[in-house]
Structure 1
């Protein structure tokens, strides 16, 4: 009985091998759409991934831009431009650790790349590393000869945060919810609290 099951199972596994094969190029023919309208220019090469990524960043499509930059990395290699672009996309997506890593690699490859230094400073500010961000913004400002308003504003912000750290204690408010009837409620401060 067991031998019959094994033989049946063996024959069932061989059965798909007996099915006729589709003709060569069948999938390619199936995946083609209708022909392009007359006068449509034929595209012989793809648009550069960095150009597409920059356009997508300008349109606010950061995830798609990151994919385009990755495609650009395949075309150009991991140059400072590609690493900086990928870091900027990750920064916009809130992936600060990845952005910092990519931007540090970019400035290591090209120490005079102003945009990468500025974006690295932004990442460091977001992570709360204000002292290092100040140094990074200072370097970007020096490399740019003070021409960029954005870098100047970032440096001012970093300096202001360094000079005036905020250690204010949070105010505590206690409130009591009082039912007034007919589904109405009133929020009242508890005794001893100031009302604003």
Structure 2
């Protein structure tokens, strides 16, 4: 079975460490393709390793900058790091590449736009976010209160 498919299924099951192992095996077979790097980045994002996820997702984009899912997941990582302005730009790119078809990308963009708008008027607030897996390689951000 394809290591990328196995890795994505493991991510769906919340088995992020095992998913990283599957993507590593896929890299041995296929090389560090955009799909392998994006999968590893997504698994690290699920583990809360935001800096590692960001690096891997940026590497994936160097190989395929047309994937809205990779742009979306990078936007999620940037938002997790508190880099709201860049997250907004990245999520706008994901939305444009996706032609607005993905609910999760649209919801993530709305969230970051609301956060950008609120940050102008409000004092900084601590908010807890939860990543929700949507589809095979796509994350959505939810506030804990959602």
- TM-score by length of structure 1 reads 0.61
In structure 1, runs of 5+ residues without a counterpart are: 1-46, 171-196
Larger proportion of helix: 2
Report deviation, 1:152. 0.5
Q: State the distance in 1 between where 2:117 and 2:77 align.
A: 20
Report deviation, 1:169. 8.5
Q: State the distance in 1 between where 2:12 and 2:41 align.
A: 15
Q: Which has the larger radius of gyration?
A: 1
Q: State the distance in 2 between where 1:55 and 1:156 align.
A: 28
In structure 2, runs of 5+ residues without a counterpart are: 127-146
Q: Quick check: 1:154 aligned with 2:87?
A: no
Q: State the distance in 2 between where 1:94 and 1:116 align.
A: 17
Could you list the structure 1 runs, at least 4 aligned residues long, displaced by more than 3 angstroms after superposition: none
Cα distance, 1:152–1:73 mapped onto 2, change above 3 Å: same
Deviations 1:121-180 (A, max 9, x none): 00000000000000000000000000011001100111111111141699xxxxxxxxxx
Q: State the distance in 2 between where 1:85 and 1:162 align.
A: 28
Instruction: Output aligned runs, 1:1-196, within 5 Å.
Output: 47-165=1-119, 166-167=122-123
After superposition, the CA RMSD in angstroms is 1.5
Greater RCO between the two (CA within 8 Å, min separation 6)? 2
- TM-score by length of structure 2 reads 0.81
Cα distance, 1:120–1:169 mapped onto 2, change above 3 Å: closer
Q: How many residues in Structure 1 have an aligned counterpart in Structure 2?
A: 124
